[in-house]
Structure 1
Amino acid sequence: EGIITLSSIIFLINPIGQQFQFLFQKEFQFKTIGKIEIFSGVLGTITAIYLAFNGFKEFSMIYGLIINASVKSLSLFILGCKKWRPLLYFKLSDIKEHLTFGIYTVGDNFLNFFSTNLGNIIIGGALGARALGFYTLAYQLVIFPISKLNPIITKVAFPVFSKIGGDKLHLKSGYLNIMDIISSVNFPLLVGLLVTSDSIIPIVYGSGWEVTIQLIKLLCIVGILRSLGNPLGSLLMSQGRADLGFKLNLITLLLQLPVLYVGAKAFGIYGVAVGFIIVQFINIVLNFRMVSFIIGSWINNLFKRVYIQLIISALMGGGVYALGSYFSSKHLIVQLTCQVILGIIIYVVFYLVFKKENLKNFKTYVSK
């Protein structure tokens, strides 16, 4: 109770600088945001470590997060006020349109959070804590690359799409470039995780976690499909159509509930993973239809862009899997090291041959 109460202070601190953070993003000032986030993150971490060594126990983590949020918000506020000075002005009619947009955005985020964690709720309730532990570990490993790498691209995508406005031709070109980059990053990572999970789990977590290996392989398919749907949010928000994202997440949630529950009851945690694949496939079909509604016909162009990544990733996965079959279970660290090195070599060589032009687009987005 004390931890929750103390943590809630962060919700009062974050809004102080949040508006300025979005304004900096809109002006492509990502370097400024990055410096602030790194400085505040390091300071918060140092604070947490210092307090942990001085008897604050679990509260040291919370105080570290509070310092992080405070320094970040105040820095954004001070630097932001120099460019955009706030005024004591308020008129409801001026923000009515933004409130409508905001309500859908909040609803979209809530549904997305709930649908993302629905698997945990169903597994915990239907199958117990042990099954939930296996599933959570597998899910976290699969979702890690998506949650850490995709925001680098999608954060830049929103202001880019906003500046393009309603120009469908340029929107289509920009969206295809982002899908190209995202597939170039996520496909090899997730395929690599799929074929090396037999080595990673025993090395990192030891014996007793073998159940997660098959779960990871199933959830990697979910990860590939989900990564292709990530840029939609930026596109819809830039065009003022947060309502479409809300409707998509609502449909996904209504599909997930019966599919995951039946899967859990009939086939256990593997049934939940297969259920996620089914729901995610339906979600991506609806996702692509929404993109077509915004930018026009684009699916054929998408397949022309990403099929090379699929082929290269499949070749890489096949080579890595074949190499792993030559090792015995006694040399897992050596096996994993050789597999990773071979996988990087195969993917980089083929990528440089067939998709060299993508590196320019990737540098452009990352540099921002």
Structure 2
Amino acid sequence: MSNLVSGTKWVALETVITRILQLISALYVARVLGPETMGTVALILVALEIFTLFSQMGITQALIHHNNPTNDQLATLYTVNWVLAGLAYIAIFLSAPAIAIFFDNEPLSELLRVAGLSVLIAALGQQTLALLQKELLFKAMAIISIIAGTVNVVTAISMVSLGWGIWSIVAGQLAGLLTRSGLAFVYGIRKALFSGFGASFRAIKPMLSFGFYQTGAMTMNMINSRADQLIIGKTIGVSALGIYSIGSQITLQAMQQINSIATKVAFPAVSKQQDDLEQVKRIYLAMIANVLLVSAPLFIGLAVLSPLFVDVVLGEKWTGLSPVLSILCGYVLVRSLGNMNGPLVMGLGKANWAFYWNVGLLFVIPGVIYLSSLDGRIEMVALALLITQLVLVTIAYFYWIRRLIGPCAREYVFTLGRPVLSALGMGGIVWLLYRGVTWENDLITLGVMVLVGVAGYLLFSIAINRRNLVGFLNGVFSKSGVAIPGVVSDRHH
């Protein structure tokens, strides 16, 4: 399990660096371009996410789950990657005008056709990246991603500063992805991970079956998770979508990046231990504990300080973002728990469970979003999502966790309750100080509030959640620390 410690550290390093770079780029570009342009960007990204999903067909997940793939299987899968990517780009090119008409956004057509080249670029290094993750070689993955993320950000910020507008974001995405895929492809050749092209389609049939279920589940999940932006863009308008999308980018993408530290490590780790459910449970609870140690104070603190944050970082154009941002912080914090079920389900080979779950959500989430959007306020959409997610997390325990690793309600509640209570205590202190003291400089105020929040959270964690905090820090900073830090065991409480 020592690779899990090293892997977590490298994934954490990659995530922190790339997320900071992405956040700086997104906030700078948003401040310059304004809500309406960022609404168009959101539509581009959602459309590309849909086509990218079908260009990959769950092959990455199938490859990670399948033990000891042969060279013939790898070569055939690489061929399938390119075929699917080509078909996806053709679909993007042909459907772009219709998508632009649907959203009444004429520039969207040309932007999509150029940005859609990303599905072809991704096919170049997709298999190597999957093999690196499968073998827990996260150092190489981290270095590649950090370099690619830097290229993306530098390109986007440079071009927007020169007046290229929305094309700056498209160029940055393509440049970063080309760097990532190119480096992965070269690394794969040098380390003999590249098996060329092949056509042994019968040999990959079991893997494709797994991938089809995974694609179906991911499709349903993507529709459920992106329906808010699609519906807001159609019913409320592009400017409202711009405000909502930046709120989502700050919160939802931050949550996804934090969770990816856990999921990138947990999926292959669970896959390797899938015959030992006690070990699987240990991995699962540890990853939840570690994710919440970071995400709970971040999102609760941001919810409290959202007016100040928006004013300092984005400026007057974005005054309508603050209430939406506060609600979305609660939503993504709850949703992060549901996302942690993914590596557990996939690692235990239950892709069909995820598919059925997401089919069920398809009859719930879009309807909730549409009905709440009829009010005309994006705050109502965010609030409806928060309430729905609270209900879903409760149901998910019985549908996923209890059935896969056995009854563990008390351990589960202890694992998620302690960091959340610590973060709520911190949030209360920051809220009282911010509301009770008059400040003249907003930037200094924000800095002071952050420092107070960090200190407050550490104090509450020492009092309430000391075991997990110490285990987490040992796992991060100690070369000989425990393999899976932060596990809460029921017998200790």
For Structure 1 versus Structure 2, the TM-score category normalised by the shorter chain is 0.7 to 0.9
Superposition pairs of residues 340-355 of structure 1, within 5 angstroms = 340-352=450-462, 354=466, 355=469
- Distance (whole Å) between structure 2 residues aligned to residue 311 and residue 299 of structure 1: 17
TM-score by length of 1: 0.88
- In the TM superposition, what is the alpha-carbon distance from 1:148 to its structure 2 partner? 2.3
Alpha-carbon separation, structure 2, partners of 1:253 and 1:172: 29
For 2:314, which of 170, 184, 205 is the aligned residue?
A: 205
SS of the equivalent of 2:204 reads helix
Distance 1:136 1:75, change over 3 A: closer
**Matched residues, percent identical?**
27
Q: Does 1:241 align with 2:355?
A: no
Q: For each residue in 1:24-58, what CA deviation from the matched residue of structure 2 results, as whole angstroms up to 9, or x when unmatched?
A: 11111111112222334445556667778999876
2:426–2:460 CA contact under 8 A, matched in 1 = no
CA contact (8 A) 1:156 1:365 kept: no
SS at match of 1:280: helix
1:359 is matched with 473
Superposition pairs for residues 114-263 of structure 1, below 5 Å?
A: 114-207=223-316, 209-263=318-372
The more displaced of 79-88 and 50-59 is 50-59
**Aligned CA-pair RMSD:** 2.8
Match of 1:303 in 2: 413
Distance 1:280 1:224 in 2: 10
- Give the deviation of 1:243 after TM superposition: 1.7
After TM superposition, give the deviation of residue 188 of structure 1 in Å: 0.3
Cα distance change of structure 1 residues 66 and 217 upon mapping to structure 2, 3 Å threshold = closer
Q: Tell me the residue number matched to 1:315.
A: 425
User: Aligned residue for 1:29?
Assistant: 137
User: Cα distance, 1:168 vs. partner?
Assistant: 0.9
8 Å contact 2:425–2:460 — kept in the other structure? no
- Counterpart contact for 2:296–2:420, Cα < 8 Å: yes
- Deviations 1:103-126 (CA, angstroms, capped at 9, x unpaired): 122222222222222122323333
For 1:261 and 1:60, the matched residues in 2 are separated by 32
Corresponding letter in the other structure for 1:254: F
For 1:202 and 1:45, the matched residues in 2 are separated by: 23
- Closer/same/farther in 2, CA of residues 342 and 173 from structure 1, 3 Å limit: same
Structure 1 residues 316 and 83, CA gap change in structure 2 (3 angstroms): same
Q: Which residue of 2 aligns with 1:283?
A: 392
Please say if residues 145 and 189 of structure 1, whose CA atoms lie closer than 8 Å, have aligned partners that are also in contact: no
Gaps of 5+ in 1: none
- Asked if the contact 1:226/1:280 (under 8 Å) is kept, the reply is yes
The 1-side partners of 2:309 and 2:457 are apart by 20
One of 407, 414, 434 as aligned partner of 1:324: 434
5+ residue gaps, structure 2: 1-108, 478-482, 486-493
Deviation at 1:154, TM superposition (A): 1.1
Identify the match of residue 113 of structure 1 among 222, 225, 228: 222
Deviations 1:131-162 (CA, angstroms, capped at 9, x unpaired)? 33433333333224202222122111111111
Q: 2: distance between equivalents of 1:210 and 1:41?
A: 29
Secondary structure, counterpart of 2:395 in structure 1: helix
CA distance in 2, matches of 1:330, 1:68: 40
Q: Which piece of structure 1 moves more, 97-106 or 5-14?
A: 5-14
The residue that corresponds to 2:102 in the other structure is: none
Contact 2:283/2:484, CA 8 A, preserved across alignment: no
Q: Tell me, what secondary structure is at the counterpart of 2:195?
A: coil
Would the aligned equivalents of 1:256 and 1:275 in 2 still touch at CA under 8 Å? no
- SS of equivalent to 1:297: coil
1:13 CA displacement: 2.5
Q: 1:78 aligns with which of 186, 190, 197?
A: 186
Q: How much does 1:352 deviate?
A: 4.1
Do 1:124 and 1:131's aligned partners in 2 also have CA atoms closer than 8 Å? yes
Counterpart CA distance in 2 for 1:301 and 1:358 is 17
Amino acid aligned to 1:69: L
Match of 2:470, SS state, is coil
Deviates more, 1:330-339 or 1:318-327: 330-339
The number of residues matched between the two structures is 366
One-letter amino acid matched to 1:147: Q
Counterpart selection for 2:378 from 253, 266, 269: 269
* 1-structure distance, mates of 2:393, 2:192: 40
Q: Which moved more, 1:164-173 or 1:65-74?
A: 65-74
Contact 1:198 1:213 in 2 (8 A): yes
Range with greater deviation from structure 2 (239-248 or 314-323): 239-248
Aligned match of 2:447: 337
Worse-superposed segment, 19-28 or 125-134: 125-134
Where does residue 113 of structure 2 map in the other structure? 5
Bigger drift between 107-116 and 201-210 goes to 201-210
TM-score normalised per structure 2: 0.67
**Which stretch of the first structure deviates more once superposed, 1-10 or 179-188?**
1-10
In structure 2, what is the Cα distance between the partners aligned to 1:53 and 1:343?
Answer: 34
1:194-219 deviations in Å (ceiling 9; x for gaps): 11112112222334644432222222
User: Shift of the alpha carbon at 1:222?
Assistant: 0.8
